[in-house]
Structure 1
Amino acid sequence: MRWFGFGFNAFTQTYVQEKSGEEDSCSSEREVKVSVPVELHSHALRGRISASWSRTASLFLDQDQCVYLAGFCASISSGSSGPVTVDTSGCKDAIISETHLSLAFPDRIESWDLQSKNEAPSWRMEINTQSENSDLKLPLVPGGYISSKSPVFHSLSSHLQAKSLALGGEHAVLLTVAGAVYTWGQGSHGQLGHGGLVPEEEPRTVEALWGMSMRSVAAGGWHSICIGDGGDLYVWGWNESGQLGLPSRGLRKTSQQKTDPQEEPPSKVSTCLGEELHEEVFISIQAFPALVDVSPPCEIRTVSCGSRHTAAVTTTGCLYTWGWGEYGQLGHQTTTSLDEPQCVEFFSSQNLHVVDVVCGPWNTFTAAVKKEVH
């Protein structure tokens, strides 16, 4: 399996550029904005990747299962700012934020303060290895979940029977074993999917999805996404940059001004009382889950959200991205933003089958394998 990275790279958290004998005036810009997927040659056999705005943590699932840190002040305690390998023998999962690195071991959970010089975790919890919930994937842990900010641990009611959890900028999206979706946290951008813009202190079921079984959830800065059992994609929240894959007024206006600066785009019109639409409708906030069409029709296997962009992998191994693309995080060899899912042609051109995708706030990482020849 080969991993690729693209997007924001100001702290070399996406990849370390190889030094060449010649450097031009554009070299610094190319280092910050990586718009073409670049293979992560060093430690290419990594197992999982977690990314924050300026940091990346890669977990090796083979041999000693160590964690490889890259980005701003990468080392936990040495003070080094370059990529480092942390001795975490036996670690089975890892997630990173701007302030903490959380690690899951078979018998314990640890959280390290990346801004501290202490050579010991700032928080630790023992795990009962006999428990049925001891094999949860971070940020879920037995009895609760790990947060990216202090306090690190938050409890969850056992009746939820959580299967997976996604943490956004200010909200959480939880998937139960039964396929129901619960959300809580800030709701100012419709990211909770309850139809309003108010916060929820406790997990509340997304009623619009009730009766439909979901198999995966993801959360971005202020938007949320889930995948139904049939591979359908449901989205809600903020759409300022087209991250929901719905018509964005800002993006359409920018695109139209580039082609015809004198012409104004059509304005949004009311849809109440059954009025007939003669102009295009733009969506800035989608407070209820909406079904997104990916063309050509396909089944979605997995999805991940950045701060204002989204990436999805189909069952046929294609990668689709959309939303904010200022740093090349969409992988389309441009820094253009999109409000419609578009296939990343790089992988098909390289005869690669995409199997996984992980979004950082402003970058994207994908795992791919060579397509089998029949």
Structure 2
Amino acid sequence: MSSPGPMKLYASGFNAWNQLVFDEEDIRDEPDDIRSFDVVLEGGDIELPISRLSYTLVTRDSKLLKAGCSTPTDDQELNLARSGAENAQVEVPTTTGGCTAARSGPLLRKLADSEALRTGSTSHSWSWGAYGIKQIVAFDAGWVILYDEGTVATLGDARFEDCLAREVTSKSPAEAPGEVPDLNSLGEPIRIIAAGGYTAAAVTESGSLYAWGMESTGMHRRQQAIPGLSGIPNYVEVDGDKDVEDIAVGESHAIALTTDGSVYVIGGNENGQLGLGIGFNERVGSWTKVNLGVSKNHRVVRVGAGPRSSFILVEIAHVKT
């Protein structure tokens, strides 16, 4: 028999500011990107990281650890990073009183930036009925919201309607939370959501993966994390139709954990965020299995993604004799 034991956090990807380095002895003036999944933190109870472009926050045994530069400096910024979702325009929707707050007044506030948290300035706020918010995730032009009962809503920039996965009308404007009908009519609740760049994804209770989005625009265009997406959430098959346990999305890549404990990656790899090894720089157009090379008593429990990085959280089981 076995019981849960200490954990390991594996990471790969963009590391220009040592944002994947938690040991001070390993900090370098000119660090290289990490192109193969490597253990960056181990021991104790580790939570999935909060990752931005220049820094990473990880809680281990209730202690917050920081890596990189421009990290949050006070409790307000830390709480915002934990409860909100910052998009490319640095606007932040956040819940008041936590994701399961009492239904007294607005539960969702939209802040112009982190400074607005200090001044108490709220650009917009919304309230709703009987359900609270389970999860908020950001893409470059907006946000995806998962409510407690398993329904999904989006809000953001009307110019990127495909990322909203719903029709924008006067009764359902882009700048207010609006339900995603194709997800909410599946007949089963959504369990987890993810987003990054111009791509969003959702996993149902039974493990079906759906994704939607569009190609990025402007001078620095990035390809979609998952190819062939549109404004309609479509079912995405992972390695012969495996059920998905967890999903994470970066600027142009995605990482999935299937229910059999396997990890798959897809998309851009310019900074080694797919973790496929030194010398492998090409974009990957189909789900590719990652070989961590861990022993049988190691179990992958979560996957995560920063804009240009990936994370795998592994639990080590204690074998009872």
Please state which band the TM-score falls in when normalised by the shorter chain.
Answer: 0.7 to 0.9
Equivalent residues of 1:185, 1:199 under 8 A apart: no
1:214-262 C-alpha deviation (Å, 9 max, x unpaired): 1111111211100012211111112552412x3xxxxxxxxxxxxxxxx
Shift of 1:352: 3.7
| Alpha-carbon distance between aligned partners in 2 of 1:191 and 1:67, rounded to the nearest angstrom | 33
SS of residue paired to 2:79: strand
Structure-2 separation of matches of 1:179 and 1:12? 37
One of 196, 201, 205 as aligned partner of 1:229:
205
- Cα 1:104–1:242, aligned 2, differ >3 Å: closer, same or farther? closer
Q: Map of 1:1-374 to 2, 5 A cutoff?
A: 1-15=7-21, 31-41=31-41, 45-60=45-60, 62=61, 65-74=62-71, 76=73, 100-102=77-79, 127=97, 133-134=100-101, 143-145=107-109, 149-150=113-114, 151-152=116-117, 155-159=125-129, 161=131, 162-189=133-160, 190-194=162-166, 200-212=174-186, 213-239=189-215, 240-244=222-226, 246=227, 283=228, 286-333=230-277, 334-347=280-293, 352-370=298-316
Give the drift of 1:340.
Answer: 1.4
Q: Which amino acid aligns with 2:175?
A: E
- Equivalent-residue separation in structure 2 for 1:370 and 1:210 (angstroms): 37
When residues 134 and 59 of structure 1 are mapped into structure 2, their CA distance, relative to the original with a 3 A threshold, is: farther
Residues 324-363 of structure 1, C-alpha deviations (whole Å, 9 max, x = no match): 1100101111222112111111256787421111211111
- The letter of the residue matching 1:295 is D
Residues 13 and 272, structure 2, Cα contact 8 Å, conserved in 1: yes
Q: For the structure 1 residues 180 and 132, does the alpha-carbon distance in structure 2 shift closer, same or farther, using more than 3 Å as the test?
A: closer
Whether the 8 Å contact between 1:9 and 1:34 is mirrored in structure 2 is yes
* Distance across 1 between alignment mates of 2:99 and 2:14: 39
Tell me the secondary structure at the aligned position of residue 101 of structure 1: helix
- Structure 1 pair 147–229 and aligned structure 2 pair: CA distance change class (3 A): farther
The equivalent residue for 1:253 is none
RMSD: 3.8
Q: Do the aligned residues in 2 keep the contact of 1:242 with 1:337 (CA within 8 Å)?
A: no
Same amino acid, percent of matched pairs = 25
- The answer to whether the 8 Å contact 1:5/1:15 transfers is no
Amino acid at match of 1:368: V
- SS of corresponding position for 1:369: strand
In structure 1, distance between residues paired with 2:281 and 2:251: 15
Give CA deviations for 1:296-322 in whole Å, capped at 9, x if unaligned: 321111111111111111122211111
**Deviations 1:280-301 (Å, cap 9, x if unpaired)?**
xxx4x51111111111321111
* Contact 2:8–2:42 (8 Å) recurs in 1: no
CA drift of 1:103 comes to 5.6
Question: Are the aligned partners of 1:163 and 1:177 in contact in 2 as well (CA < 8 Å)?
Answer: yes
Query: Measured at CA, do residues 144 and 242 of structure 1 come closer, stay the same or move farther in structure 2, by a change above 3 Å?
Result: closer
Counterpart contact for 1:241–1:338, Cα < 8 Å: no
Counterpart AA for 2:79: S
Amino acid at match of 2:145: L
- Matched residues, number: 283
Aligned CA distance change for structure 1 residues 326 and 103 (closer, same or farther; 3 Å): same
User: Which has the larger Rg?
Assistant: 1
Structure 2 CA distance for partners of 1:104 and 1:337, relative to 1, 3 Å: closer
Secondary structure of the residue aligned to 1:329 is coil
TM-score for the superposition, normalised by structure 1: 0.64
- The residue type paired with residue 133 of structure 1 is T
Cα distance in 2, alignment partners of residues 349 and 195 from structure 1: 48
* Superposition deviation, residue 194 in structure 1: 2.0
The letter for the 1-side match of 2:66 is L
Structure 2: distance between partners of 1:187 and 1:348: 45
Q: How far 1:191 sits from its partner (Å)?
A: 1.0
Structure 1: 5+ residue runs without aligned partners?
78-87, 89-93, 95-99, 111-124, 136-140, 247-282
Task: State the distance in 2 between where 1:73 and 1:225 align.
Answer: 28
Letter of the 1:69 partner, please give it.
K
